[in-house]
Amino acid sequence: MIATAALLFALRIDELERMAVERNPAVARAEAQISASEGRKRQAGAYPNPVVGLNADEVNGGETIRYGEWGGFASQQIVTAGKRGLDRDIAGQDLASAKAMSKAERQRVVNAARMLFYQALADQRLLDVRTELASIARNTSKISRELANVGQADQPDMLAAEVEEQRAELGLQMARNAQVRTWRQISALVDRTMTPQPLEGDLDALPKIDIGKTLDTIEKQSPDIEQASLSVARAELAIKRAEVARIPDIEVRSGLRYNRELLEINRRPVGLETFLDVGVRIPIFDRNGGKIAAAKADREAARLESRRVALSLQSRLAATYRDYTDSMQAAERYRAEMIPRAEKAYQTYLGNFRAMSAAYPQALNAQRTLFMLREQQVESLAAAWRSVVELEGLLLGH
């Protein structure tokens, strides 16, 4: 009944992932960057505002001019050559890039949660191993002292047992410190105080990874590759935008004013007048050649960066898969072969020592070997899970 109750309150990996995604500021920051990109895209499609103002000509106080012509005007820039559409398309690429970054940040947080979850499982396993070792060492030290008191054990054996007890106690304390460290890291990830608690998970249940399928998944789903591809597409649009920038926009200006100047015929004011100005900036000196050249160079750099990212991921995949294979094979070898043999050797030496047919150092060495192998198995499992999380998490580190 107690075990069932403990299981009900054990923390599952999906719960830790949910807390991390909901509470880690990196995810919220990435979402805010998407909103900012959406705002910039809306702004990129906005048409230039018109200009309105006061117009005055021939402002002179003479009897004929009579302070000249006064009125108002409005001017408007007419954007040509599809510049606004290209600006929107470029902003759209920036928005897509922000979404890819957000997806990557979310995956990084999930990966961090998974790694810490399995590290916490390994810490608990290691703590259990060292707790057992410390208990055995304390009991052995006690027995050695009792035997020494009645003359049935040598002092060196007693001292060796006491040293081993101290070594086991130190290892136990270090395991406790490691567990506290991991839970503090979990607290930082989920932005709330977390203390060591039971976990619902199986450290031994390592999945089998197919490197070919993993590479295919990464090439199709990696946010890094997606961002690199978006950079190439954006660079293509930037070239088009730089090229059409040479085509001038049209400036239109018109207005209405009252002319107070007196006509010579009837000596009456000229009255209301309208005016219209239409102009373009002639691209004689500046044809935007520097920006066009820079945009083309940026496109080449983006294309090369896209290829570099793909090759880098392949290289990282190879290294991570090797680590996974090494750690998984080591953990299996420890479980199936080395630990059972070490356990048998230890029990044999321990039985001989208790029967006074073997010296304690033999039992001590066998004990040390057994627990060293168990600790190394835990370390191999933890390393294997780190590789699994990286491989299944698109090689996105936090």
Domain map (residue ranges) of the chain: 2-46+79-247+283-392
List the CATH code of the domain at 2-46+79-247+283-392: 1.20.1600.10
**pLDDT given for residue 6 in this prediction:** 42
Q: Is 323 exposed, middle or buried (0-12, 13-18, 19+ CB in 10 A)?
A: middle
Where is average pLDDT lowest: 83-92, 106-115, 267-276, 343-352?
267-276
- Per-residue tokens: 382: 């933890």
Q: How confident is the model at residue 264 (pLDDT cuts 50, 70, 90)?
A: confident
Is the per-residue pLDDT at 108 higher than 90?
yes
Q: How confident is the model at residue 16 (pLDDT cuts 50, 70, 90)?
A: very high
- Dihedral, 135, 141, 142, 143 alpha carbons, nearest 10: 110
Q: How confident is the model at residue 365 (pLDDT cuts 50, 70, 90)?
A: confident
Of the chain, the percentage scoring pLDDT greater than 90 comes to: 73
Is the per-residue pLDDT at 359 higher than 50?
yes
**Average of pLDDT values for 364-369?**
86
**pLDDT given for residue 398 in this prediction:** 60
Is the per-residue pLDDT at 354 higher than 60?
yes
**Average of pLDDT values for 225-239?**
96
- Range list of H helices, the chain: 2-8, 13-23, 25-44, 83-149, 155-190, 211-221, 223-244, 289-333, 339-354, 360-392
**Average of pLDDT values for 98-126?**
97
